[in-house]
Structure 1
Amino acid sequence: MNEAIPLCLPSVGVAEEAAVANALRSGWVAPAGPQVDAFEAELGALTERPAVVSVSSGTAALHLACLAAGIRAGDEVAVATLTFAATANVLSYIGAVPVFIDSDESGLMSPELLRLALSERAASGRPLKAVVPVDVYGRPVDHSAIAEAARDFGAVVVSDAAESLGAQLDGHPAGSFGKFAAVSFNGNKIVTTSSGGAVLCPSQDAADRVRYLATQARQPVPHYEHTEVGFNYRLSNILAALGSAQLSRLPEILSAKRTIYFAYREMASRLEGMRMLDPAEGNCWMSVLILDTPGATAAIGDDLATQGIETRPVFKPMHLQPVHAGCDLSYITGNAEALFNRGIVLPSSTDMRAEQLERVIDAVASVKTARSHV
């Protein structure tokens, strides 16, 4: 039988093993310690942020970022519809209401639709409190246009940069955009801490507020005193050590991801009816194949699965999810749904061997050829 080729495994090795072992030997096994401090400083330098708070997941990071940005129960917030569920879920945690904004042709939040939503809501007396754009599949959205639209209508921007660490846009790193940004270090992300995330903050004061919320909102007194509800969202010192080792390898990881993407792009250029989703200035975290024929992704995914090759459909848009049934569809055009119907994520593991990559390419080509003759 063919060896299985997973969708996206983490790349860890001797550097990570040594970092975790050193953290264990130091005795700092609680969610505090020098490795946490170092990891946060390294993230701040990488993302051009003055202060960073590392936490237990990307979802926790986005939740805290939204709270720190002033989003409260009842607020309406513009959110990209093409995203993972966590982006909308955190608003439900708060009691805020997502207003889904469709994509442009790239699959990223449309600045034009966003401006329309901001304008119409302001005119109706129901202004949108905030905007949550998403760097889908590691590709930065048009942050300049989104920031301008938000600024014109007094909305705060919280950037969901969960997937885009290491990417660049107009000479600035992903994570540097928005008042706050959230990144993820889940096991399949470009950099992993096994499970983790970080809130990228505009100031040390803002970071202090985030850290306070992440540590059960405990007051600075000898006994346990709480004046508001907080959360247990801290990242362990051991996992921070793993994250620092991963950050030291980020250029290597980015290079490997781009090699995979460009190999797939060359394949798609030879096959009629296929193209790769443009990586823009992204980190090539995941390589997404787009088919001309709607609905063909499921059949191709099934065919590849029989050969031991794992794939996944593009994110199902949030406005199509049963949990959001009855949501406002005023700013939905069908672009995100079209990508969901035509897009399939190909294996993108950093450590994918050359022969595995060739096997995926040959399999996609053979499946495409076979189906074109049906």
Structure 2
Amino acid sequence: MSRTIHLSPPDVGPLEESYLIAALRSGWVAPVGPDLEAFEREVAARVGTGGAVAVSSGTAALHLGLLGVGVGPGDAVVVPTLTFVATANAVRYTGARPVFVDCDPRTGNVDVALLADLLHGLRADGERVAAVVPVDMFGSCVDYGALLPVCAEADVPVVEDAAEALGASHRGRPAGSFGRVGALSFNGNKIMTTSGGGMLVSDDAELLARARYLATQAREPVPHYEHRETGWNYRLSNLLAALGRAQLVRLDTMIARRRQLRDRYAKLFAPLPGVRLLGEEDTASNCWLTSIVVDPEQAGWQAAELGAHLAGLGIETRPVWKPMHLQPVFAGARSLLTGTAERLFAHGLTLPSGSALDESQVTRVLTAIDGFLTARTGVSPA
């Protein structure tokens, strides 16, 4: 039986092996070491920020970033409802409350006009809005040309959740560099991986120094162990940083491979009515995941039906994120909604997008999709 084709498997090989072996042989197996420091410098240079702090996950980066801009108990923090749960969980870690806002139907990114209305409403109600956390959905940057002035007018700092978007850009500026602080993820399914890990990136040296301090259990700089406040065990290990350095060398090649795959999906679905790629107009996306949106009345079939067909053939797919306002853990949270996120969840499907997929696997996926479409429409798009 054929092996399962996964959505976005890690793409690692001989270069990563060589970096890890070199790190092991150097003796720097404990958390901090030269690869960790070099990885921070290299990612900051790639993103175009003054510095970076490598941590154990993208969620940890978000948590520390929120603390860095002053988010605390009782505050309101605006979060897109269409996102992975980590964005909203990190708000809860600080004692603040996530307030959800709906998305743009073309991209899945935050609806900036709706965000402006929400900030106005929160301010009118006397709420302290401590941060806005835009999410660069599936590797496509938010329209920061529109969003940043809205947040500046409301005097609210931006913590950019660029967990999915390393290597993407907006108007020539790299993802992760738009807020007062940005958060990246190197989880196993991301565009590049350190197995698990994340990073804060910022031009604010004080914020980064504070994050580094809190990420090392808030240990005071004295010979013995002394702690004046609560910290966290959030630092990335030197070995995982070595893996990340090798991945960073290959990042552009991995993005190009994902873009080629997205282009082949676009070509396959282009002749069909009622089917579009989410964020298809964004040529500066890193193409982390390719998602289609299906209008069942026009297409004559449901996205979930294609997902079930592919699952039966050992091909993994996934619906677009289930909106946060529908999650039981956030029941009752304040939200400003248009129904767009719910429609994308109902009619969206994310397809295998990994740069590690070889040509035989890609052919298997495209053939399976073509077979489904031919059976449902009577015409082979291929």
Which TM-score tier does this pair reach, normalised by the shorter chain? Answer: over 0.9
1:278, 1:77 → 2: CA distance?
Answer: 25
Q: Identify the residue that residue 242 of structure 1 maps to in structure 2.
A: 243
For the pair 1:334 / 2:335, whether they are aligned, the reply is: no
Cα displacement string for residues 139-182 of structure 1 (whole angstroms, at most 9, x for unaligned residues): 10112221111110111100000000000111111111100100
What's the counterpart of residue 323 of structure 2? 317
Taking the aligned partners of 1:139 and 1:235, their CA distance within structure 2 comes to 26
Report the Cα distance in structure 1 between the residues aligned to 2:361 and 2:217, rounded to whole angstroms: 46
| Cα distance in 1, alignment partners of residues 5 and 228 from structure 2 | 50
In the alignment, structure 1 residue 68 sits paired with structure 2 residue 68:
yes
CA contact (8 A) 1:20 1:238 kept: yes
Equivalent residue number for residue 96 of structure 1: 96
Does the aligned pair in 2 maintain the 1:57–1:195 contact within 8 Å? yes
Runs of 4 or more above 3 Å deviation:
none
What is the CA distance between 1:205 and its match in structure 2? Answer: 2.0
Map of 2:362 onto structure 1: 357
CA shift for structure 1 position 358: 2.1
Q: Which residue does the alignment assign to 2:8?
A: 8
**RMSD of the TM alignment (CA)?**
1.3
Post-superposition shift, 1:372? 4.1
State the alpha-carbon separation in 1 of the partners of residues 144 and 230 from structure 2: 32
* Structure 2 Cα separation of the partners of residues 359 and 119 of structure 1: 50
> Higher mean Cα deviation, 79-88 or 143-152?
143-152
- 1:299 deviates by 2.1
TM normalised by structure 1 equals 0.97
The aligned counterpart of 2:133 is: 132
Partner of residue 55, structure 1: 55
Q: Deviations over 1:107-157 (max 9, x none)?
A: 110110110011111122224221000001011011222111111011110
Alpha-carbon displacement from aligned partner over 1:61-92 (angstroms, at most 9, x marks no partner):
11111111110011001101100000000111
Further displaced range: 297-306 or 229-238: 297-306
Q: CA offset at residue 302 of structure 1? A: 1.2
Aligned counterpart for 1:284 among listed residues 275, 287, 300: 287
State how many pairs are aligned: 372
Tell me if 1:25 matches 2:25.
Answer: yes
CA distance in 2, matches of 1:215, 1:4: 39
* TM-score, normalisation: structure 2: 0.95
Once residues 144 and 230 of structure 1 are traced to their aligned partners in structure 2, the CA distance between those partners, rounded to angstroms, is 35
Which residue number corresponds to residue 374 of structure 2?
369
Matched to 1:10, the amino acid is P
2:222 aligns with 221
Any unmatched runs of 5+ in structure 2?
Answer: none
Residues 19 and 245 in structure 1, CA contact (< 8 A), matched pair in contact too: yes
Answer whether contact 1:271 1:365 (CA < 8 A) is retained. Answer: no
**In the aligned structure 2, how far is the partner of 1:86 from the partner of 1:203?**
23
- Matched with 1:307 is 313
Q: Percent identity?
A: 49
Contact kept? 1:3, 1:308, Cα under 8 Å: yes
CA shift at 1:223, angstroms?
1.7
> 2 CA distance for matches of 1:104 and 1:272?
21
For 1:285, give the aligned amino acid. W
